[in-house]
Structure 1
Amino acid sequence: MTETIPSTGRPTPPRRPLPLLGHGGNRSALTCRYRCGDACFHDVPNTSRGETFGDVVAAGISRRNLLKVGAVVAAAGAVGVLGQQPAAAHGGRGSARGLAFTPVAPNTADAVTTPPGYVSEAFLRWGDPLFSDAPAFDPSAQTAAAQQRQFGYNNDHLDMFDLGRGQFAMVVNHEYTDEPMMFPAYDPEAPTAEQVEIAWAAHGLTVVVVEERRGRGRGSGALSVVVDHPLNRRLHTTSEFALTGPVAGHELVRTSADPDGRTVLGTLNNCAGGITPWNTWLTAEENFNQYFAGADAVTDPVTRERLRRYGLPGGSTDRRWEQFDQRFDLAAEPNEVNRFGWIVEVDPMDPSSTPKKRTALGRFKHEAAYPRVTRDGRVALYMGDDERFDYFYKFVSRDRVSRRDSDHNGTLLDNGTLYVARFTGDSPPEEILGDGALPADGEWDGSGEWIPLVTSDDRRGHVSHVPGMTAEEVLLFTRQAGDAVGATKMDRPEDVEPSPRTGTVYIALTNNTARGTGANPGPDEANPRTANKHGHVVELVEQRRDSGAGAFAWRIFLLCGDPADPSTYFAGYDKSQVSPISCPDNLTFDDHGNLWISTDGNALGTNDGLFGVATDGRYRGQVKQFLTVPHGAETCGPLVQDKRVLVCVQHPGELDGASFENPLSHWPDGGTSIPRPSVVAAWHERGRRIGDA
């Protein structure tokens, strides 16, 4: 069992300073370089002059639309959460059901820290064998062949499919690799072929069966890997993926290795995801741009602008993959980059199936994809584009979900309409000062509309709703389509999660330190803080609570940061009784309807963690920290079960100066070991339900 430090109620003394770099949070330069290609040190890709909703209100544009969205607010308020009054007077002792634990204090420990009475264990680590023919992990003797049969690096999204009898098919993606921390004597200017091939194998996806481990104490939440289970599977950078939908076969996805434009090798930089109603797994390709070299060699102005809008770097990449496979060199293969940036659908119950890249869902830096069934039985899929000043999207399928026909369900994400969101505030723009001060009506709220971008239909033909762009161009260059229709520029929309109880959609906006700086857009009611380094959470209610609706109401649920900071807001809850929280990233719900938030890049100088917060009732807005992860790590996943919490601990020890020879974390193995990204289970030592008193 790995080290667990129960909370004492006092912060743990810092082990070392944690630099406030990168995305305005607690990210090291190493994180910024290898995770997202220094995205926040480059110019903001979105230089469009699209209207913000402040512009819409100020100019009096589209009075019909403003009247329409005003009616949406009234309708939504009549049926749900947006009709509640702010909980300004709420406070006092106690906790919401499912959140009755002593909050973990902020700390910088090199450990997973849980509340008193809870324990944790890292039960699956980078390099652990999934098959008996894979060797035990030896960091000094790695091979690509071994890594393809072992658990990959930097685990991010996690979910479970219940197989019965205490077994689960666990799905995990592997976002990126930290080569200086992975390999001895690593030279970033001259990596070896073997190191590159290991990194290719360490990216991708894992399906692995785990089972509850008995005999570890009453009600133990411990899990073990079932080595050699028939469902176990690794998908990596040289595995085959199929392009489906309108873009499949298009001239802009054809390459010399794939002249048909239908088969892609690999999936890159996978982040969050979701489970479909027909029991498949969706995973999102995010910062794919950083793997492709040579954008500065492109001379065609249209192509150059397309590459710029997606943040493609000039010159060499940090990993130098282009030196070992020309498909990562835009000068040699200009279309290969267009084959990444999609939502990927995987059938974890069929290890022989080919994963699908669903092009009808649009191409951008997908952070997540979470479905909800509409009133008439179709599927709606919510998606965020994780970039400063980029957009929030929804796809609604043409056809209804079938309870019996899996072949039919396999076509649902290829036919439907892709929308982008425009948020409209209900306060005068002059009341949004950028300092977190509430407008006169006491809330940041308003209404919005879903603007159609493209309808994919393999029967009647694909239709673009954006003048000057074909349907295929809208899907390949979705950011430019959003620019053209004046979508609202958001503060890095990352994970999104609809409440399984109410249908209210929660959007994690991690941060945006560029808002209101230089020539960048200033604050607006949906993104009300200048230089927003702590991020916020927005809740959205569809008209008539139907995910197929064309309009919605919204309001800000949390403005994150130190509760002592006057710019923070916790749904009106007493700020003296909440945990500090910074940079919300991944979201999930428990069976009680509480929202759980994991953080990435905590800008408060302490470790990232996992937080529970009630979304309704007298405790609405009471944020409570359940665990923290080791220094240098971010908290991913997460998944909250009845008696178990699971998180992915990604990039532990990813601090400036860290290397294989100089590890700055020794979690989870201790001693002088190098850090290993791992999946962690936490549970109550007496077998109680999570959050029961």
Structure 2
Amino acid sequence: MRRLLPLISSHPGGRSAMTCRYRCGNACFHEVPNTSDNAYAGDIIAGALSRRSMLRAGAVVTVASAVGATALGQAPGAEAAPLDASSAAAARGSGHHHHGRRAARGLRFTPVPPNTADAVTVPPGYRQQVVLRWGEPILRGAPAFDPDRQTARAQAGQFGYNNDYLTLLDLPGERGRQVMVANHEYTNEELMFAGYDPENPTREQVEIAWAAHGLSVVVVDEERRGGALTPVTRHRLNRRITATTPFRVTGPAAGSRLLRTSADPKGTTVLGTLNNCAGGTTPWGTVLSGEENFNQYFGNADAVTDPETTARLARYGITDAVSERKWERFDRRFDLGREPNEANRFGYVIELDPYDPDSVPRKRTALGRFKHEAAQPRLTRDGRPVVYMGDDERFDYFYKFVSNKRMMRGHSRAAREHNLTLLDEGALYVARLTGDSPASEIDGSGKLPRDGEFDGSGEWIKLAEGDTSYVPGMTAEEVYVFTRLAADKMGATKMDRPEDVEPSPRTGRVYIALTNNKERGLAGKAPADEANPRNENKHGQVLELTERRNDPTAERFAWRLFLVCGDPEDPGTYYAGFPKDKVSPISCPDNITFDAYGNLWLSTDGNALGSHDGLFGVADHGRNEGEVRQFLTVPAGAETCGPVVQEKRVLVCVQHPGEVDGATVENPASAWPDGPGKIVRPSVVCVWRADGGAIGV
């Protein structure tokens, strides 16, 4: 008989040790790969581009209202247990009015209080459904999911595991349908296979895991009167991309000696994509996805004898003799002693055309190689795409790419072929930030400096363009393949885990989710600075960047911290100047999206306040700027990913539910989504208003 494990973590912060083990190869227990001595954002005081906002003043009228939530899918006997301290803060700010005014348009719902329910918990008046679960068939001929009889062949036609990024695209010519694309970050074999032995995986288990990685393309039907979505199985556009799907390498590093292997002596074709995290949707109708913690899949790094190669591998966190999943036992490409270049073929932004099921997906080397969290483009005034990207590692950097080519409008074959070259030619930059307050005012506690904001100026440092390197001692192809090392040399600013980076479609301002960094300020590590103002930062912050003249090609920008996350009662938190007794507590921001009203929506990963992770709407302009309101929470052990906010529905990916230390198939830590006795399954969830109205109005 299966029993639910208690939600106990032996790991620092909000994540379980199991999550860190399978998702990022225990990065927190390894030495930080960035050992450079780059200057930090408090070294120079420069205010020429400082962007300040006036502190709000005036009387505050507290209007409290009842906090309610609808929790579906929770296990029998489970309670939607609010947490005393933080739920009290949520209750104070849970009504539709603050300062005698309504919540921002798009955020007018009763916030969900922090809780530990084993369920997806949504506001009163909202409904939800599980759209698609791990293992459900999406391709013609794929069998129904059977957890006791899994095969690699079946999984290759079924929805993959641990869905992260999610997007919905229009489907011209098929009214009432959309194309849903989800990526699949990683596998947790202990929660997939009964009796799994991590020291001795079988070939079938390994091949199932290969097939469970990658991306899924699925057409969905829209319910006419409600918000539900129904997968259209066996649609001609449905597709699975896996760890063995051929990819074309494009851009300036294609064919480089650094990318050649015994199986691919030309260095232009790679099998598969690994650890896809967040992504982006392009104006020309393709989907981007970032390869993140690819380092953990490779073993036998100790067999590499060349010192330069060893140093390059170490900068990407590749140091282990044996990988977690032991894939090197079954495919030589994961054995660095035999194929030392194979790791260089992962860590890119990939591009997929969801409207052409026969197209070959591409790895875009011009966008650099690092632990890509996401890649969301915006267009310049003359139609060239600019892509913003974060490198999700403690003390690493954020980047942008500016294309040299203009997008062609329309859906002709010529336009589509041209637009599939837009991300191959352009300039790659990394960010350097400068604070405008004296270093003495940044004490590591999160206390605001005298000017009332954490803010300053910055510059985009050019690393390479085409075949030209701007990094001394490095060729252009070395810059594209070892981008972290290039950014080290150019003095980029060390940040607190830059994850999703998204430009606002309304204002053009760019938002960077800095999830956390518990090593900030420790002995031998970078100290707090104005952009990363707290030592041992466990809650994270959100940075807002405004490029000069709102021009995405500009090489100068102003910045400020929009949110400094954590318990609102903590004086070291900041909510864009909004009264902190009127916000939902938020910790560890990860993925970002925007709604039609310009509000910022944030999902969290590793909430360090004791509640389950969730999705939050935040007003980013107007009188309500900084007002944070929690829309949902996810089940035990889960992370909230891939938010999509449409007019009448919100979708999230519920990633790694039940991923709690000690959990297995036999002893689960969650009963979601199908109840006790059923295997726990990562899934896509859709939420809509019961009356069919628009979200949050």
TM range, normalised to the smaller chain?
A: over 0.9
Is 2:696 the partner of 1:691? Answer: yes
Question: Which residue matches 2:460?
Answer: 450
Question: Which residue matches 1:4?
Answer: none
CA distance in 2 between counterparts of 1:19 and 1:578 reads: 27
Question: Which residue matches 2:22?
Answer: 34
SS at match of 1:479: helix
Amino acid at match of 1:549: A
CA distance in 1 between counterparts of 2:492 and 2:638 reads: 33
Question: Which residue matches 2:156?
Answer: 148
Correspondence for 1:571 among 558, 576, 585 = 576
Amino acid at match of 1:31: T
| Structure 2 counterparts to residues 166-315 of structure 1, below 5 A | 166-214=176-224, 219-315=225-321
Question: Which residue matches 1:413?
Answer: 423
CA distance in 2 between counterparts of 1:34 and 1:15 reads: 19
CA distance in 2 between counterparts of 1:396 and 1:452 reads: 10
Amino acid at match of 2:6: R
Which runs of 5 or more structure 2 residues have no equivalent in the other structure? Answer: 61-97
CA 1:15 to 1:687, structure 2 compared with 1: closer, same or farther past 3 Å?
farther
Q: For the Cα contact (< 8 Å) 1:377–1:400, is it kept in 2?
A: yes
Question: Which residue matches 1:16?
Answer: 6
Is 2:424 the partner of 1:424? Answer: no
Question: Which residue matches 2:487?
Answer: 482
Q: For the Cα contact (< 8 Å) 1:87–1:620, is it kept in 2?
A: no
Q: Which runs of 4+ in 1 moved over 6 A?
A: none
Deviation of the 1:635 alpha carbon:
0.2
Amino acid at match of 1:144: A
Amino acid at match of 2:291: E
Q: For the Cα contact (< 8 Å) 2:44–2:435, is it kept in 1?
A: no
Deviation of the 1:134 alpha carbon:
1.1
Question: Which residue matches 1:674?
Answer: 679
Is 2:503 the partner of 1:498? Answer: yes
SS at match of 1:338: helix
Deviation of the 1:115 alpha carbon:
0.4
Q: For the Cα contact (< 8 Å) 1:20–1:603, is it kept in 2?
A: no
Deviation of the 1:56 alpha carbon:
3.5
Amino acid at match of 1:343: V
Q: For the Cα contact (< 8 Å) 2:541–2:565, is it kept in 1?
A: yes
Deviations 1:253-292 (A, max 9, x none): 1111111111100000000111111111100000000000
CA distance in 2 between counterparts of 1:25 and 1:266 reads: 32
SS at match of 2:49: helix
Q: For the Cα contact (< 8 Å) 1:246–1:472, is it kept in 2?
A: yes
Amino acid at match of 1:432: I
Deviations 1:166-207 (A, max 9, x none): 101111000000001100110000000000000000000111
Q: For the Cα contact (< 8 Å) 2:545–2:557, is it kept in 1?
A: yes
Correspondence for 1:123 among 109, 131, 138 = 131
Deviations 1:568-606 (A, max 9, x none): 111111111100100000000000000000000001111
Deviation of the 1:20 alpha carbon:
6.1
CA 1:411 to 1:312, structure 2 compared with 1: closer, same or farther past 3 Å?
same
Question: Which residue matches 2:49?
Answer: 72
For these two proteins, the number of residue pairs brought into alignment is 649
Deviations 1:284-317 (A, max 9, x none): 0000000000111212111111011100032111
SS at match of 1:412: coil
Q: For the Cα contact (< 8 Å) 1:20–1:605, is it kept in 2?
A: no
Deviation of the 1:122 alpha carbon:
0.7
Question: Which residue matches 2:350?
Answer: 344
Is 2:567 the partner of 1:562? Answer: yes
Question: Which residue matches 2:669?
Answer: 664
SS at match of 2:688: strand
CA distance in 2 between counterparts of 1:118 and 1:309 reads: 46
SS at match of 1:481: helix
Identity of aligned residues (%): 65
Is 2:474 the partner of 1:469? Answer: yes
Question: Which residue matches 1:86?
Answer: 55
Correspondence for 2:515 among 499, 510, 518 = 510
Amino acid at match of 1:315: A
Is 2:113 the partner of 1:105? Answer: yes
Question: Which residue matches 2:408?
Answer: 402
CA distance in 2 between counterparts of 1:315 and 1:624 reads: 45
CA distance in 2 between counterparts of 1:99 and 1:562 reads: 21
Question: Which residue matches 2:34?
Answer: 46
Question: Which residue matches 1:639?
Answer: 644
Deviation of the 1:83 alpha carbon:
5.3
Amino acid at match of 1:678: S
SS at match of 2:121: coil
CA distance in 2 between counterparts of 1:88 and 1:364 reads: 43
SS at match of 2:279: strand
CA distance in 1 between counterparts of 2:55 and 2:613 reads: 28
SS at match of 1:109: coil
SS at match of 1:194: helix
CA 1:139 to 1:87, structure 2 compared with 1: closer, same or farther past 3 Å?
farther
CA distance in 1 between counterparts of 2:201 and 2:250 reads: 34
Question: Which residue matches 2:82?
Answer: none
Amino acid at match of 2:623: R
CA distance in 1 between counterparts of 2:217 and 2:485 reads: 35
Amino acid at match of 2:447: A
Q: For the Cα contact (< 8 Å) 2:6–2:669, is it kept in 1?
A: no
CA-based RMSD of the aligned residues comes to: 1.3
Q: For the Cα contact (< 8 Å) 2:276–2:291, is it kept in 1?
A: yes
Question: Which residue matches 1:319?
Answer: 325
CA distance in 2 between counterparts of 1:412 and 1:656 reads: 44
Amino acid at match of 2:366: A
Q: For the Cα contact (< 8 Å) 1:87–1:571, is it kept in 2?
A: no
Q: Give the TM-score taking structure 2 as reference length.
A: 0.92
CA distance in 2 between counterparts of 1:401 and 1:122 reads: 37
Amino acid at match of 1:188: P
Amino acid at match of 2:24: C
Q: For the Cα contact (< 8 Å) 2:43–2:434, is it kept in 1?
A: no
CA distance in 2 between counterparts of 1:245 and 1:96 reads: 43
Amino acid at match of 2:349: I
CA distance in 2 between counterparts of 1:369 and 1:87 reads: 34
CA distance in 2 between counterparts of 1:168 and 1:486 reads: 44
Amino acid at match of 2:551: D
Deviation of the 1:131 alpha carbon:
2.5
Deviation of the 1:409 alpha carbon:
1.6
Range with bigger deviation, 293-302 or 548-557: 293-302
Deviations 1:635-671 (A, max 9, x none): 0010000010000000000001100111111110112
CA distance in 1 between counterparts of 2:530 and 2:41 reads: 8
Deviations 1:114-155 (A, max 9, x none): 001111111100000102411111101000000000000000
Range with bigger deviation, 621-630 or 402-411: 402-411
Is 2:381 the partner of 1:381? Answer: no
